[in-house]
């Protein structure tokens, strides 16, 4: 089957794979649903059409949340701008700015860090997401992309 809309179809197929793995987990199979969620999350962030319309109000109005680690040295208040929030997550994925934090055998949190140097000044933001927060953002992006 060929793609009719390369990005939308890829996201749809990836989402179906995630649902299949999550069902297999509930059926008792030894699968890694959080690993699949992380893979899908990274893919949708990277493939997401940056020029697509996206809600740009506060992230909490879309039931999105995160925890900022340390000081946000960007001039952006991305907690008030969903587009900037998603863009920082995307930049972290594209530039190897991901750390998996394990407190138990299962992945609990992932930290995304976006850094750049501008006019000799280092800018950085570290965003910690729980698996649940990542899933909420993923669902938001899947639904937003499907509206296009």
Among 16, 19, 36, 46, which Cα is nearest to 112's?
Answer: 46
Using CA atoms, how far residue 82 sits from 86, 113, 116, in Å, is 6, 17, 20
Given pLDDT bands bounded at 50, 70 and 90, which one contains residue 57? confident
- Pair type for strands 98-102 and 107-118: antiparallel
What's the confidence (pLDDT) of residue 104? 78
| pLDDT exceeds 70 at position 71 | yes
Sheet with 67-69, strands from edge to edge, namely 67-69, 121-130, 107-118, 98-102
pLDDT value for 53: 63
The pLDDT-based confidence of 35 (bands split at 50, 70, 90) is very high
pLDDT at position 48 over 80: no
CB of 37 closer than 8 Å to CB of 131: yes
- The reported pLDDT for the residue numbered 54 is 72
**pLDDT at 143 (0 to 100):** 81
């Amino acid at each position: 089957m060929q793609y009719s809309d390369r990005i939308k179809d890829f996201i749809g197929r990836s989402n179906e794979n995630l649902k299949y793995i999550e069902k297999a987990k509930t059926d008792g199979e030894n699968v890694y649903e959080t690993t699949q969620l992380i893979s899908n999350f990274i893919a949708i962030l990277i493939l997401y059409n940056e020029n697509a319309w996206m809600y740009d109000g506060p992230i909490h109005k879309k039931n999105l949340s995160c925890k900022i680690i340390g000081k946000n040295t960007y001039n952006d208040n991305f907690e008030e701008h969903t587009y900037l929030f998603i863009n920082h997550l995307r930049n972290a994925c594209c530039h190897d700015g991901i750390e998996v934090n394990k407190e138990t055998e299962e992945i609990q949190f992932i930290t995304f860090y976006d850094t750049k140097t501008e006019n000799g000044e280092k800018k950085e933001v570290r965003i910690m997401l729980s698996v649940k927060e990542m899933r909420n953002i993923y669902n938001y992006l899947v639904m937003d992309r499907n509206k296009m």
